[in-house]
Structure 1
Amino acid sequence: MAEVTFKGNPITLRGTEVKVGDNAPDFKVLDNGLGEVTLKDYSGKKKLVSVVPSLDTGVCSKQTRKFNEDAAGVDNAVVLTISNDLPFAQKRWCADEGIDNAVTLSDHKDLSFGENYGTVMEELRLQARSVFVIDENDKVTYVEYVPEGTDEPDYDKAVEALKAL
């Protein structure tokens, strides 16, 4: 498993680590209207999956905004932001930030995404900051588990991986 710290403290990641070349594991999360969403809902699309501990923090907010801006012009692509925030909080965040096109998904209920992608921080029951790029055939082409949970991901590398599909 990837080694991750949060505010300098070692964190145990629960779940299965995903690697480049893997078939993207399925997941079941909730959209802002409490509807269930799975990987299959984005079948045939390029996907940049941005995973954050909580949208209500500065780094997570910046990460969500930046990926949505930087990937906006990529043909047949969608940016999915996944956190354990409640769907209501995600919807409020989008409204407060004026981001109408962001797809925010909540893994708070079952931790299905986190368990299948190895992003559950056991000690905090939050998602570890990470990024996955998945092609139209659901093959993983880019993975970043950010080593320190309060640091930002490598935006440029992730967006370049998406554009290269």
Structure 2
Amino acid sequence: MEPAAFEEPGLVRRAADEFGSQALVVSLDVKRNLLGGYSTRIRNGKIDIKRKPVDAARYIISEGAGEILLYSIDGDGTWSGFDLKLLTEVSSSVGVPVIATGGAGSLLDATLAVKEAGVSAVAIGSLAVFQGKDLGVLIKFPSRPDQEAAFE
């Protein structure tokens, strides 16, 4: 859906009208540029749509998106933590839930994304599936007490 949100005018609006904004999550793929700023990308990160992430987020919200899945291309698979600067910029500029993805290496990273960057949720794919960076598969998830302690 993400490329279509920018390539097919009115698609997000029609989907929101049909199903409601609460059912519509649009992914924004973001990459750092050489000068330290950010570019919003489509088509597996290959095409820069020439919109800053905040502007892209505001656009899709104005079209009816009810949530944003904010994906850091640079952070994906690094286990180095979420891009808190990016998350803060977007989450503080929009009035809908923002879900962080791309970079989680520990439960602390998730805590920082929620408490410091203000996102509503985090996606921790590799953290829940692998034993560690470059290690084998082990489906795991933080225990309930660890989850509660991280977000109290």
TM-score, structure 1 normalization: 0.29
Which structure features the higher share of strand residues?
1
Which structure features the higher share of helix residues?
2
Structure number with bigger Rg:
2
TM-score, structure 2 normalization: 0.31
